[in-house]
Structure 1
Amino acid sequence: MSSRRFTLSRALWHYLWEPEPIFLVTTAYTDRQKVERAFAAELLAPAEGISELLGNAPERAVPDDLEGIADHFQVSPMVIKHQLENRLLVV
């Protein structure tokens, strides 16, 4: 179910920003695909919410923490890992 929500969130990005009647949600890594994935991740598991659940030390998060947070937001742990690496641990 979490992968379906992620795919639907990616499709929502297309609908809002590029209202073309036909588009593909693919595994490609173009800049556009990266933007839609980042949008979906932030929509489903906001970095601020993840930060609140982790407390003051996101750099100390362990896989069990990511699993629990993923369950909380009903997403895969990979989405939480992405948010952690790209939004919370950036300098």
Structure 2
Amino acid sequence: MTAELIEKEAIDVTKIIPADTKLSEELINRLASAPRLGNEFKAKATIEFNTTEGPKRVYTTVWSVTEKYIQLKNNIHIPIKCVIDIEF
């Protein structure tokens, strides 16, 4: 199934659910690199995450990554356990 591309303002955090797969070490490393990419190089990432409506993708700047969340602009938080993939 191809993930639907949405705007970050359209993210409904109440519909985000855990991904079916366990986070790989490679994905964890890419998540850790995402804030630097956005803050220092002004580059965006494509984040794919799981929702009750199926996978969604958003193309945006990652502001920060904590142990549990990816923070985007406008105080939007995506739980890391719900992330399927991230690409730069």
TM beyond 0.5? no
Higher helix share: 1
Higher relative contact order (CA 8 A, sep 6+): 2
How high is the TM-score relative to the length of structure 1? 0.28
Asked which structure has the greater CA Rg, the reply is 1
Higher strand share: 2
How high is the TM-score relative to the length of structure 2? 0.28
